[in-house]
Every structure is written in C-alpha cells, then in structure tokens.
C-alpha cells in the first residue's frame, strides 16, 4: 500500500444496494458527517444505486448506472451496503447473463479493482450473547475469540468460468487457482499476523493457518505448496495447515488456537460466515476487500428483504465496517485524524454492546430489542464523547 499525504477531503463511493443495505448505509453516512465535523476532515460522498431492485425497476441489462465502474475506480474508498432482491416469484433477481443482480457492485468491484484480499476480523465483544436453538447464552468467551480470516477475492469458483447445458442435463463451474493470486493473499496473511503482533489467544503465538482440501483437490495442493514457500519468509510466524472440513469443527471448538487464517475464495466465503457465529452472528461481521490501490468495506449480513423498512436491522456491522474504512484510509494517507476516528468507532460500538441496554434483536432478543435507528444513535452518542476528548 503506497503511503500518501493526508487530504482535506476524501472521495467516498456509497453503494447502498438493496433491503437493509440502504438503511444501514444511511446510518454510516450520518456517522461520517458527525466524524467530519468533529475531526475537521471532509468526506465527499457519491451514492450510486445498485443491486437487484435497481435492475428490476430499470428493466435494463445493467444492475447499476453507466459510469459506475469509473466512479468506483476514482474513489479513495468504497462503502457497500448489501445486494440481493427477490422477483415477483420470490426467486433472486438474476440478469440475462446469469449473474445475480448486484454482481457488478460486489464481485465486479472485487475483480475489476483487484481487491484480492477479503479480510474478515472475527472478534467477540464483551456483552455479546450467542443465540443457539432459540436461547441466548455466553457460549464462547471474548478472550478466546480474536482472529482474522483472509479470503482470496478474485478467482477460485467465483472466476466466472463455467456453463450450464441448454437441456439442463448438467452444469460446470471451473475453479481457477493461480500462483500469482495465491502468493499475494498468503503473503498478506503473514503480514497481518506480524502487524497484529498478539498471536492466537491460546498461546500468544503468531500463527497463520492455511485452510484447504489438499488431500483431494489439485488447486488446494498448489495453494498449500505456495503457502509453505511463503512461510519461509516469515520465520517469526508459525505455519499451520488445516483441511477445510476439519477447520469447520475446530473453529467452533477451539477458536483460541487461531490468529490469522488464509484460504481460497469459496472456502473463505463459507468459513467466514460460520466463524461469524463466534462473534454473535453476521450482524456483527465485517468484510474488508483490500487491494494494492483500492478498498471496499461492507457488512456481510446481506440485504435481508423481510426486514427492509421495519427499522429492525442490526447497524453495528456497517458502523464497524465504516471504522475499518477510516483505519485503512488513515494508514494509506498517514492521517492520524482518521486513525483516531477509526479507533473511536470501534470503542463506541464496544461500549454500547457492553452496556447491554440498546441492542438490536439479533443480540438482545425480540422482547428487548431496540430499533436500528436507536442503536445507531447510541453508538453516535458514545462516539461524540470519545471524539470530544482530545
């Protein structure tokens, strides 16, 4: 990541998308306005409609307006809400080319802007209870859940190479694993372990775990071989390899073992959603799509059409994603104002969660739930106090 000088105004693209994505990104924009006033920095926000609803309403081949690709490429950073909207029949909106309506903003941006590392922090905040079988309880301890999963974001089963037979007799999806993509995402994982510096909760060892299915798949054998090559560049970090199906068990039964994990695109998509259970569900989970020159940040909870318009969504993942955006910009532009604001966002969310008074339904249960707008306002209240302290 090239180091640049701090700017007076940062150009951001906001992609609200569908459903609750529109609602939570509005909360993020309000928080950005608050931060801008408090720290003396400008955010020039360009909002671009996109997703399934856009495609259905416009009856076009595109799922966002002409010129959106160029606008995203010119931005300092991108904030994504969520995409996905049902048709009248209830099936997901799908474009003529077979791609989901919303592909351009998500997978399109990842591939076009070369956002090769999908970085997902998995941290359990004190005060979060786990919802299992309809009951709320503290299943995992906060001190045992503090890892980062790094998912390759540009190839694998999402490379777009495949076809479906015209007579529906079969379909193929080609999984593409290349040395170039593998090397850089694996190296990113080792660099993250070094930068975190605290290691795994269990033994404080800096460790990178490679998640693969190398006992069966050729692409995984290549990925693991490259992992072992890259590991030699980082003698301070312990290399670890785990078969993906075993990891699905161990991440829930032994989360304290993990510091940083790295894997291919599809496996990463699955295990990060699984790992979100550790932190209270996808309403708390953040996705950071990072490249050398661009970055896009998002909550990973999806558009949740049944919740749209009811003020019931959990805004915390989006607010945390906005904090990650500020941290990335702060590091990229050596802007201590943004770095400080990012830390304040994380602390504000943690304070609201720990207080256990103003939480959304997925964290508090339906009987004690606060509205999305109320939860977001509580975070902004804590944030105001933190930013005022100089």
Question: Could you list the pLDDT tens digit for every one of the 390 residues in the chain?
Answer: 446 899 999 999 999 999 999 999 999 999 999 999 999 999 999 999 999 999 999 977 899 999 999 999 999 999 999 999 999 999 999 998 888 999 999 999 999 999 999 999 999 999 999 998 888 999 999 999 999 999 999 999 987 788 888 899 999 999 999 999 999 999 999 999 999 999 999 999 999 999 999 999 999 999 999 999 999 999 999 999 999 999 999 999 999 999 999 999 999 999 999 999 999 999 999 999 999 999 999 999 999 999 999 999 999 999 999 999 999 999 999 999 999 999 999 999 999 999 999 999 999 998 899 999 999 999 999 999 999 986
pLDDT of residue 390: 65
Rounded Cα gap, residues 347 and 258, in angstroms: 23
Other beta carbons within 10 Å of 138:
12
Q: Name the residue ranges covered by the structural domains of the chain.
A: 1-115+291-390, 118-284
Fold of 118-284: Isopropylmalate Dehydrogenase (3.40.718)
Exposed, middle or buried, 167 (CB in 10 Å: 0-12/13-18/19+)? exposed
Exposed, middle or buried, 71 (CB in 10 Å: 0-12/13-18/19+)? middle
CATH architecture of the domain 1-115+291-390 equals: 3-Layer(aba) Sandwich (3.40)
pLDDT of residue 1: 47
Among candidate residues 10, 158, 258, 333, the one labeled active-site is 158
3-state secondary structure of 216: coil
Report the number of secondary-structure helices (H) and strands (E) in the chain: 12, 14
pLDDT of residue 294: 97
Rounded Cα gap, residues 327 and 321, in angstroms: 10
- The reply to whether 1-115+291-390 and 118-284 are identical in fold is yes
Catalytic, 311? Answer no
Among candidate residues 225, 245, 292, 293, the one labeled active-site is 245
Among candidate residues 11, 114, 173, 269, the one labeled active-site is 269
CB 211 within 8 A of CB 120: no
Catalytic, 273? Answer yes
Among candidate residues 11, 114, 173, 273, the one labeled active-site is 273
Catalytic, 258? Answer no
Among candidate residues 7, 114, 213, 311, the one labeled active-site is 213
3-state secondary structure of 172: strand
């Amino acid at each position: 990541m090239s180091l640049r000088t701090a700017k007076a105004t940062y150009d951001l693209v906001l992609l609200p998308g569908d459903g609750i994505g529109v609602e939570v990104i509005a909360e993020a924009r309000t928080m950005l306005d608050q931060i801008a006033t408090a720290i003396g920095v400008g955010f020039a926000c360009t909002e671009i409609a996109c997703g399934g609803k856009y495609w259905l309403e416009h009856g076009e081949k595109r799922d966002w307006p002409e010129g959106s690709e160029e606008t995203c490429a010119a931005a300092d950073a991108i904030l994504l809400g969520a995409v996905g909207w049902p048709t009248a029949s209830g099936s997901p909106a799908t474009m003529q080319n077979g791609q989901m309506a919303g592909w351009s903003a998500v997978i399109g941006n990842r591939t076009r802007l070369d956002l090769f590392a999908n970085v997902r922090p998995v941290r359990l905040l004190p005060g979060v209870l786990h919802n299992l079988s309809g009951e709320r309880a503290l299943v995992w301890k906060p001190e045992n859940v503090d890892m980062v999963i790094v998912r390759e974001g540009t190839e694998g089963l999402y490379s777009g190479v495949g076809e479906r037979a015209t007579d529906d007799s079969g379909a193929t999806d080609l999984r593409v694993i290349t040395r170039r993509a593998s090397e850089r995402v694996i190296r990113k994982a080792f660099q993250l372990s070094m930068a975190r510096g605290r290691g795994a909760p269990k033994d404080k060892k800096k460790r990178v775990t490679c998640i693969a299915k190398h006992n069966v798949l050729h692409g995984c054998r290549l990925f693991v071989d490259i992992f072992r090559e890259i590991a030699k560049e980082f003698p301070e970090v312990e290399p670890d390899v785990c078969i993906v199906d075993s990891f699905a068990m161990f991440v829930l039964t032994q989360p304290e073992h993990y510091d940083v994990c790295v894997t291919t695109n599809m496996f990463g998509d699955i295990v990060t959603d699984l790992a979100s259970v550790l932190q209270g569900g996808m309403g708390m989970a953040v996705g950071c799509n990072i490249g050398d020159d661009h970055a896009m940040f998002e909550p990973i909870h999806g558009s949740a059409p049944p919740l749209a318009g009811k003020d019931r969504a959990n805004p915390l993942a989006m607010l945390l994603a906005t904090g990650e955006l500020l941290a990335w910009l702060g590091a990229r532009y050596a802007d201590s104002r943004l770095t400080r604001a990012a830390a304040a966002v994380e602390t504000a969310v943690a304070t609201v969660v720990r207080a256990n008074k103003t939480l959304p339904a997925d964290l508090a249960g339906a009987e004690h739930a606060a509205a999305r707008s109320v939860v977001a306002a509580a975070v902004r209240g804590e944030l105001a106090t933190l930013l005022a302290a100089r």
